[in-house]
Structure formats: structure tokens, C-alpha cells
Structure 1
Amino acid sequence: MEQISSDRFPPLSSKYPWLIAQNIQDDEKQDQFFFCTIDNELPHYRCRIPELLGKRIRGFFHGWVILSNHPYNNIWSLWNHVTSKIISLPTLVLEDGEYESIHQCCLSAPPVDPSSILLLTTTNKSTFLFCPVDSKREDFRWTEMSYAQQLKRLTSNGKLLVSLTCCNGKVYALSTDGTFEDFVIHLDIVVKYNEVVINLMLFSICPSGPVDSYRTERDIQYLKGSSTELFYIEMTFWEETEHTENKPSDVYLYKADTTCINWEERELCFKDWDITNKNIRCDDSSSEDSSSEDSSSEDPSSEDSNTRSDDLDRGSEIWKTYYKKKMDMSIEVWKVIDDLKDGIFYMDLARDYSVFYSPVVASELGGYLHIRGEMGKTIYSYNVKDNTISLSCIPSPMLPTSHVSMWECRLEDDHEEAKCIVDYKEKMENNNHIFLRSGSNSGIEFKNSHLLNIPFDLLKMIMELCVGVEYMNFRATCKQCLLAAPLIKWSNETSLRRLQTHSPVSPWLMVVDTRRGIITFTDPLLGDNYYLKNSKVLCDEHDRLCYSRFGWLLFWKGDLNSLVFFNPLTNDLRDLPLTLHDLESLCFSAPPTSLDCMVVGFTTECVYILHVNQDETWRELRSGTDPLPPVCFSDFYGRNVYISCERGELCVINNIGEKGHSWGPVEAEAPKGSSRSTKQYFITNCDQHTLLVTVGEFGEAVEVFKLNDSEEKWEKIDSLGKHTVYICGTAWFCIEAKEPKMENKIFFPRLHTKNKRVVFYSLDTCRYHTFDAQNFPKERLEDSFGTTHHLSLNVWIEPSWS
């Protein structure tokens, strides 16, 4: 990748999201700035910008860059890179000297506005630090103000405000450290003469995702304003394991249009709530609001704190009334975003948990939330519309310790782009020929479809084999295809009849989009997608896939609060008896149509089994006096159930369901393998052998081991022979390949980020690939970087119409 050095601000293009990295901890590179794009394809700039020497970028507001000196954080300034104007603020002096506690900043209005102030928050106490930006003011100095009493009055026990942002001339923040609820707070800033008054007002409670995605200490909430739109982002993470970083498991995005809010009505609605909440206190007698400093910030119109009325119980009717009013107001404000379109977010979990936003970039680059991982080496790119996350390495100029921001200020116009970018675009466009069939003579080369050379009867025969979207795409190709493919009212029955004429050579990757009510089946060999809509089940965001095998799904139906068998291709639905326990790591031995079908589930204390066609209730199996280790995966091998535990232990239940069953660890110690990172273990059976597949944290070092029963040890093998392994989060299995090109491969529920085809690992090449249009392995990848995985429910399923 080409690097361009410069001693001035580079001519960036507004069509691309640009990251600026500061290697502050490296003395040799402290004054160097790297501008690059996330996809790492364009040349990057290495710059020394005089206005930024010795300073750290803290934020972007109203076209200005907020800067502070590093590492002291006591000298702050504003820089406009278009006009080159710099506004230097007075030196900040803190009595406690804890300048490192300064966390976030916000410029309340453009500097030309007389009411503009720079507002800072700290992480160690409930105070604002603010300074007017207009140097002509008499009170051109820093002021410290406590907001503890005001915040507690609104939230009962919230202590700190975070995620400061500006939207439509107003300042907002989040209160997320309370035990009862998370709130969006409006900071009403009034500047009169030489006095600045900041009043906190309740804007809304924070919107939340599905009920079952409960918040944990690892979850993160962001607030970001742009023009008149206020965004709220909530990010949840997979369970953290030792030596691994938190990985995003779900992202929820909401938007509020502040121009549609009736502020007078809103203030009246929450006025009574605010007064009532003054009298509601949690059982925390040592709260900070009793300090003299906080008492001085008490609202003058409030009653004496010594004459408060009796505390109100949160279960009382008055509490319920005002809480419902608050909920209703919040629901009206926030709308779920299903498509970010041309907008793009960037969040940095590695350094300061900052968030940046660009409303318009090139259409093919928009619609993403780019999340830099905690280790500073990985970027997780969340596509809002597709509900997928792509994995990529951090762009090469950046160090894991770099402070990275996304440039939010206005960039150069397109005609002023750097020549290298123009050359790059022209080269890319010349390599992508697009041929159009139209009646115009604008110089575009005409190319007729080869389908027109096929006899009409043969074309109709081809169309009869097409299904769903494939049929509609074919029909839209040309007039002859339109005539050969009459309009069909598609239904599940019509689709299934045609799908049965296909002979799949591989299980399909099934993805359930509960938001749109669409089930997608992807053929990993051909790359074709098949769609089902309006399914009777798997349409609720609270449903949970548990296991897949023999063409059947076992899932937890949220609205029924029960386990259900479901064949998505026949819509056959079979309820299981209710269980009083929250079972995890379920698996079953045979299709539910078989008399031998047995379901097994685990809790922390017991194993529960159900003979589907024989028992009416679940049976409990005790493993002994010791509690079970946390179970991650389980799978049947004949009458035995093999279990992979959280810390890598491997266990087996022999002859499960029979009187002589036994429980114990697999004597063979789990193999270490060549990967130094945390590994996942997947146990399956293959041709009378027990196999163990280990996968590194980011897909590196995929290895396969076979259990040697006689010597009680795992032996590494380099080939699966004629077999293929399919792995996903809730089910994995090994089957004999139906075609030679499918042999000796391990398929994962991931797509190549660029060609959108299913990714597999070849034991022949020890690399990741995808099949191309001719079904040959292409796109060599070393690991999971450059791949995309679905956050929606997904599982491998073997198509079955019985």
C-alpha cells in the first residue's frame, strides 16, 4: 500500500471514511499522524501538521477539532482546519490535580455563538468543567460545577454522565450507572451576561433491545448527535474468556428526530415526574448528595431537604403512573434503524470508548458501524441492514496503542481529491466492465444475452426448475425470459415442490431474519440463495436455535416458553413436553419421526433426557455430588453423548438413557495444538471414529484429532478422507461428501466479505476458500479476517422433505 508523506493537512475525499491515528506513546512518532481508510485499499497519508504537534484530538463539533495537550490535559484549544483559525483556552487548573480523570468533551455551539462553551466531564466525580469560548467575555475562565444532586433527583441513584453530544443546538448525555434504569439527559445550558447555568432535564429512558438480551457490565451504550438526528447505540458482547477480547454479539441502533419533539409538552409531562422523584430515594444513606458541595447546587425552588416527605415505594401507584408516562414518552421518541444507508459510525473500544459519525459516504461504503476491538488490532464492521459483522485487521499504519478517530469535519470537494485516489478509481473502473441492453447510442458497448440463442421451449423448461427469487430474477432478464416465465403467486408449497427436484450435494446455511420475517438458505457449493417468507415459526426475536440435525431444528419458542421441533421445509411442527428448567447445550439423536429420538439438555447440576415418542415428561440424570462444569457443546455418538466444557475439558456419558449409564471425563487429555490463542473444541463422529476439531480465536490453526481409544490419546490427522465437517455455534456434524469437490473440508457459518460466498477450510491447502462460479476453490484466506458472520439466528441444516 502506497504511503504519501506530507507536512500539511492532506487533500482527503469526502466519499471515504477516513481514520486519523496518533501514536502518542511512541516518542519517535508522537508528532506523526496517519490518515487512512478502513478497508486499507487506498493510499494512506503520513503527516506532520504544525497545529496538532504535541496535541491529542478529543472530538469534532460544528466543524472544529477539539484538542488537548498530552498527557497533562490542562491546555485545551479549538482548531478549524479549513480557515486555520485556532482558539486557545485558559490553562485548566484542578485542585486535586487528577487531569487524567477528564474523559469526554462537547462544544455546545459554534464559537461564533456568544453562548458557546466547551464542556468536560470526569470519571471520578459528578462535576462539569466548562469554559466560555468567546475570549472577549469577562469570565473567560474554567468553572467547576457539581451535578450530583440534579442527576439523583432525575434517576434516583445515577452518579455520572457520559457520552456527551450536541444535536440541533442542544446538549445531551447518558446516565447508565444506576441500578434501576438508563436515561438520556438533556443539558439545558443558559448563558446570561457572565453567568452560566446548567440544568439537567429528563429527555427519555434509553431504548432497549429484546427482553432476553439483558444488560451486563460489559454492555456499552453510546449517544451521538448529527444535525437534527440523535442516535442511541447499544452494544452487547459474547461472554469473555481468558486472554481474549470482548467480541460484539449484538448491536441495536435507534434514532430520534429532534425536530418532531414538542418541547413544551414534554417539559410539562416530566415536571410532575421530576417533583415526585425528588421524594423517591433508594436505600443508600451514604449517598454523595448529602455533601455540602452537592447541597449548594440544590434547585432554589425545591423544598428544604430536611423537610422531605416520606419516601415513596417504587411499587406504589404514583410511581407506576409516572413511570408509565415516562415509558410512553420514550417510546414515541425513539425509532429502530434497520438501514443506516449512506451513514457510518466508528467506535474505539481500545482507547477511550469514543464514537464518531459521518452522515454521507460513498453508497457502497455506508451502512456500517465499525468497532475497534479492545486489543486495538481488530475492527468489527456491523452492517445494520444485513445484521452481519465482518472481521478485518486494523489498517497497517496504526499501532494497537494508537488513539484513532474518524475525521468528522468537512473535507475537500471531490475535484480536489489527491491524484493517487483519482488514478486508483479510474483503474478500478476500467477493470469492471458493465454492459447494458438499451436503445440508447451513448457509446456504451451493447452485449446481447446468450439466453436469446436458446430455443423458447428449452428456455421454458429451464424456468420450471427455478425457485423463488431465482425465478423472479430470471424473469426480469429480458422480454423472452418474461414470456417463458409466467407470473406465479409463490407460496411455501410451490417453492417446496420445485426445491424437491433439486438434489443438494451439501447441507445449507440457514439464516433467520426475525426483523423481516425471512428465512434464507445458502448453498455453499453453488452460492445460490433460497428464501422463505411468512414461516409459521421462527419469526420472533425471542426464539433461540438450540440444535440442528437430520433436516430438523430444535429451538426454544419464546412466546410458548417451550422446546419445539421444526422442519422449515415442510413446516412440520412438534411441541415437546414442558420443562421447568432452563436447558442449555441441547442435542438429539435422531429425527423426531423416529422411535429412537432422544433429546438431551444440561443445567449446572443435572442432565435431562426425553425419549420423544415414548416419554411424556423429562427424566433427570445426576452426575454425582459435584456440579457439572459449564457445558459449551454436546453431541451424540451412538448411545454416548460427548461434551465439550467451557475450560476445554472433554467428558462423555456412556449408554445414556439406560440403567448402566456412566459419566466421566474423556481420559485422553485435550490436545494443545499449535495455536497459542484461546481455542474452541468441537466433537463429532466420523466413520466409526471420534473426532475433535480445534479452532483458534480468529479462525487460525484449524486442526483435527482422532481419539485413539486403546492408548487413550488424541492423534492429529491431516485428512478427513471422503468426509466433510459442518460447524456452527449450536450444531456440528460430519457426513460423507456427495461429490469429490466437497471432500476433506470444514465449512463454517461465515461468508467472504467481498464475494458473499460461504467460507470453508481445506485440509489439503490449510487455507480458507470459497467456491467460485465453476465450483473451484478460490480466495485463499489465512484466518477469519476478511469474512462476515450473521448475528441473526443461523445454523447448518440438511434439507429434508419428510
Structure 2
Amino acid sequence: MAGRKRRKMKSLAATAPNNGAASSEEREESDEQNSLFRVPVDILEQILCRLNLKENILASAVCKQWLAAAISVRVANKPPWLMFFPKFGDLVEFYDPSVRQTYSVELPELRGSRLCYAKDGWLLLYKPRSLRVFFFNPYTKDVINLPGLELTYQIVAFSAAPTSPDCIVFTVKHVSPTLVAISTCKPGATEWTTANYQNRLPFVSSIWNKLVFCNGLFYCLSLTGWLGVYDPEEHTWLVRVVPPPRCPENFFVKNWWKGKFMAEHNGDIYVIYTCSTANPVVYKLDQINKIWVEMQTLGGLTLFASFLSSQARTDILGVMRNSIYFSKVRFYGRRCISYSLDKNRYYPRKQCYDWGEQDPFESIWIDAPPDLSAFA
């Protein structure tokens, strides 16, 4: 009798649910799945250190081990610095917005020069008296000369550092509303190449145009918001049938054309419209649907806007994310102002800003130096 009860209880135990306890097969499957993420720490760090900031953050969500490794190799790069040209003398100032620190250095090499563009730590400059065009690295003092060219009302940009074989210098000016003259040059060339191109749509150029290099193409935003595109490989120019970004309410006031900025990042193009009586409006170009889409958030992006060239960065951590930093100079002792899309407000707070009162050649954003030895 006792034996039958024991056999019956054993039978019931075999058929009863396990109340959450995993079967041996399930445990083996789970262990096998977890083992996929059990990479030796040194190897895991070597893998994660090759990711950009956004990819690093995504990888940190896999498990606790990956989180610890991702944080250990996560590097937030320095934001660009704001460089100020003096009206007189040779003392150039650099402002680090992350720590609100100013550095000064004598750069007599820049005397009589005009700022044109900045990229990859290099400046493109122009001397109006001698028509000299040249690259200058303010940290190493390296100079790379280009053939002379008269730059009047046209804007200038370059695709990569002048030490790169991919460097192309580009400038455009309108001859008439339906005709533009485009000049290009590479470091080491003996002259500029200039050609005229017809427009299907009116395109008016000035120093207030905006110019970026993105995915092998130069994009130029005209005075009235039309987008011209130049392909340096195919030597083609086209004014795209993309309606200009919609201007904010009350945008068309005095000096309205000076409150526009354009930047590129990872294949995307952004345009920032500002107005003295309204908050900034940011648009991103939808290349497929050929429209400008208004952005309610930057998704962690940080924009650094100046009249001659602007930057967009995703590798900036902390309160600087999802913000726009403008090269508005010397306001109440500060070297720039910022606008937070999270808080919908300017810092420092002010009722309005007159973007037209600033000299466009006075300041520009440039990559931060690798160290402070240049200012020793």
C-alpha cells in the first residue's frame, strides 16, 4: 500500500507544472544564448572602442558586462572652439564653450587676412590686397598656399583638410540670376578652374549664402533659400526643385538673411533660421521626398553655428547635447550664446538678438586643439 502511494506521488510530481523553474533544455538554451555576450573583457573593449558615441550607447544596453565595458572606453570629444579675429593687432582669441575658458595667442601670420571657412582644424583665408588664398592651421602654424584668386561676394568652402588627397576648394558666384561661375582648385595646383553654369531656377549668391560639403557634393543655400548642388567629380551644377525652408513668423525683418546657418552630419543637411523676435527653427533636408522637415528635437545632436561655416556633432556629452551654439560674441562678457531645444530658451536669456549687428568675418568655429601646447 505504501509502495503504491509513493509511486502515485512520484507520478504526480512528474506531471505537475514546474511553477517557473526552467527545464534543463530551457536552461541550456538560455546559457547558450548568454554565452554569446560573454566576450572576454579585453576583447570586448577593443570592439567597443571602435564604435562612435551613439553606437557605444546602444551597445551598453545589452547587459551589465557590456555596459561597464562601454562606459570604460566611451570618449566624449571636445566641442569645437570659437575663434575670434582681432580688428587690430595680432592677438587671436579662442573660446572653449564646454568650460567657458578663453585662450589667446599671437598669430602675425594672419595679419591682413579675411576668414573664409574652417574644417578639420584648418582655416581657409584670403588677403584682399594681394588676392592671396591659403590654408592655415592655427595650432601647428602650418601654411599651404593656393593660386591667387579675387574673392568679392562669393563664398568659399573646402571638402577635407588640405593634407588630404580628397581636398577640393570650391567657390560660386552668380553672374546673373540664371548663370553662375564656379571655381575649383586643389592644393598643389597652379591655377583655379572656372566654368559657367546655367540655372533652371534663379540663384543669387552673396557672402550670406551657406555652403557645406556632404557625401561628395557641395550644397549651397542661396540668399532666398534655393539649394544649388555641385558635383566635383562630374563637374555638374543643379539648382534642386526643393521649396526653400519655411521661414518663421516675423522672419522677414531687417538683416533677415544674416540669421541663416547650414551644417551637415553623417549625410544629413541641417538649416537653422533665427529671428530677433522668435526662437530658432531647425530643418533637415529629406533627400528622398525633396522637402525640408522641421525638427522638434535634435536627438542628442549639437549644432555650432557661425556665418561662414557651421558644425554638427553627436560626440558631445552633457548639457551641450540637443542645443545650438551661436557665434554671437561678447554679450555681457560671454563669448557665445546657446539655445536649448529641451528647454526652449536661450542662454543667457534675452528678449531678442539682432543677428545683423555682427561682423561675419569676426569669428568662426574650429576643431579644438589636441592639447594646449599651442598656447603655452
* TM > 0.5: yes
> What is the alpha-carbon distance in structure 2 between the residues aligned to residue 621 and residue 699 of structure 1?
41
8 Å CA contact retained: 1:634, 1:643:
yes
Matched residue SS, 2:352: coil
> Which of 227, 249, 260 is equivalent to 1:681?
260
How far apart are 1:506 and its partner, in Å?
Answer: 1.3
Matched residue SS, 1:595: coil
8 Å CA contact retained: 2:263, 2:309:
no
> Which of 94, 100, 111 is equivalent to 1:539?
111
Aligned to 2:226: 650
Aligned to 1:388: none
CA 1:504–1:789: 2 relative to 1, 3 Å: farther
Aligned to 2:70: none
Aligned to 1:693: 272
Matched residue SS, 2:190: coil
How far apart are 1:691 and its partner, in Å?
Answer: 1.6
CA 1:737–1:787: 2 relative to 1, 3 Å: farther
> What is the alpha-carbon distance in structure 2 between the residues aligned to residue 792 and residue 639 of structure 1?
27
8 Å CA contact retained: 2:83, 2:92:
yes
8 Å CA contact retained: 1:750, 1:788:
no
Aligned to 2:320: 742
CA 1:616–1:785: 2 relative to 1, 3 Å: closer
Letter in 1 for 2:197: S
User: Does the alignment pair 1:549 with 2:123?
Assistant: no
Matched residue SS, 2:143: strand
Aligned to 2:214: 637
How far apart are 1:755 and its partner, in Å?
Answer: 4.4
8 Å CA contact retained: 1:760, 1:768:
yes
> What is the alpha-carbon distance in structure 2 between the residues aligned to residue 567 and residue 594 of structure 1?
14
> What is the alpha-carbon distance in structure 2 between the residues aligned to residue 761 and residue 717 of structure 1?
14
> Which of 590, 599, 607 is equivalent to 2:182?
607
Matched residue SS, 2:334: coil
Task: Spell out, residue by residue over 1:585-625, the C-alpha distance to the aligned partner (whole angstroms, 9 max, x if none).
Answer: 10111010100011001232301111225x33211232227
8 Å CA contact retained: 2:203, 2:222:
no
Aligned to 2:53: none
CA 1:625–1:736: 2 relative to 1, 3 Å: closer
How far apart are 1:730 and its partner, in Å?
Answer: 1.1
Task: Spell out, residue by residue over 1:301-339, the C-alpha distance to the aligned partner (whole angstroms, 9 max, x if none).
Answer: xxxxxxxxxxxxxxxxxxxxxxxxxxxxxxxxxxxxxxx
8 Å CA contact retained: 1:527, 1:758:
no
CA 1:593–1:577: 2 relative to 1, 3 Å: same
CA 1:766–1:579: 2 relative to 1, 3 Å: same
> What is the alpha-carbon distance in structure 2 between the residues aligned to residue 765 and residue 547 of structure 1?
31
Matched residue SS, 1:750: coil
TM-score (norm 2): 0.68
Matched residue SS, 1:548: strand
Matched residue SS, 2:79: coil
Task: Spell out, residue by residue over 1:519-557, the C-alpha distance to the aligned partner (whole angstroms, 9 max, x if none).
Answer: 001111211110102x241122xx211111111111112
User: Does the alignment pair 1:527 with 2:92?
Assistant: no
How far apart are 1:758 and its partner, in Å?
Answer: 2.4
8 Å CA contact retained: 1:722, 1:736:
yes
Aligned to 1:707: 285
Aligned to 2:343: 765
8 Å CA contact retained: 1:751, 1:788:
no
Aligned to 2:14: none
> Which of 133, 137, 148 is equivalent to 1:578?
148
Matched residue SS, 1:760: strand
> Which of 505, 511, 514 is equivalent to 2:78?
505
User: Does the alignment pair 1:783 with 2:352?
Assistant: yes
Q: How many residues align?
A: 284
Task: Spell out, residue by residue over 1:154-213, the C-alpha distance to the aligned partner (whole angstroms, 9 max, x if none).
Answer: xxxxxxxxxxxxxxxxxxxxxxxxxxxxxxxxxxxxxxxxxxxxxxxxxxxxxxxxxxxx
User: Does the alignment pair 1:620 with 2:190?
Assistant: no
Matched residue SS, 2:85: strand
Letter in 2 for 1:651: L
Aligned to 2:167: 597
8 Å CA contact retained: 2:199, 2:239:
no
Letter in 1 for 2:186: H
8 Å CA contact retained: 1:511, 1:790:
no
> What is the alpha-carbon distance in structure 2 between the residues aligned to residue 609 and residue 529 of structure 1?
36
> What is the alpha-carbon distance in structure 2 between the residues aligned to residue 690 and residue 734 of structure 1?
9
Identical aligned residues as a percent = 22
How far apart are 1:708 and its partner, in Å?
Answer: 2.0
How far apart are 1:788 and its partner, in Å?
Answer: 8.9
How far apart are 1:742 and its partner, in Å?
Answer: 1.5
Aligned to 1:108: none
> Which of 702, 717, 741 is equivalent to 2:295?
717
Aligned to 1:303: none
> Which of 756, 759, 763 is equivalent to 2:334?
756
8 Å CA contact retained: 2:203, 2:239:
no
Matches within 5 A, 1:232-247: none
> What is the alpha-carbon distance in structure 2 between the residues aligned to residue 508 and residue 526 of structure 1?
11
> Which of 332, 340, 363 is equivalent to 1:794?
363
Matches within 5 A, 1:341-352: none
Matched residue SS, 1:554: strand
Aligned to 1:668: 243
Matched residue SS, 2:279: coil
Aligned to 1:424: none
How far apart are 1:571 and its partner, in Å?
Answer: 0.6
CA 1:652–1:623: 2 relative to 1, 3 Å: same
Matched residue SS, 1:513: coil
CA 1:575–1:674: 2 relative to 1, 3 Å: same
Matches within 5 A, 1:193-592: 505-533=78-106, 535-540=107-112, 543-579=113-149, 582=152, 584-592=154-162
> Which structure is higher in RCO with an 8 Å CA cutoff and minimum separation 6?
2
Matched residue SS, 1:545: strand
How far apart are 1:659 and its partner, in Å?
Answer: 2.7
CA 1:582–1:699: 2 relative to 1, 3 Å: same
How far apart are 1:666 and its partner, in Å?
Answer: 4.2
CA 1:624–1:785: 2 relative to 1, 3 Å: closer
Letter in 2 for 1:544: R
8 Å CA contact retained: 1:570, 1:801:
no
Query: Considering only aligned residues, what root-mean-square deviation do their CA atoms show, in Å?
Result: 2.9
Letter in 2 for 1:563: V
8 Å CA contact retained: 1:550, 1:800:
no
Matched residue SS, 2:328: strand
Matches within 5 A, 1:141-220: none
> What is the alpha-carbon distance in structure 2 between the residues aligned to residue 791 and residue 639 of structure 1?
27
Matches within 5 A, 1:2-21: none
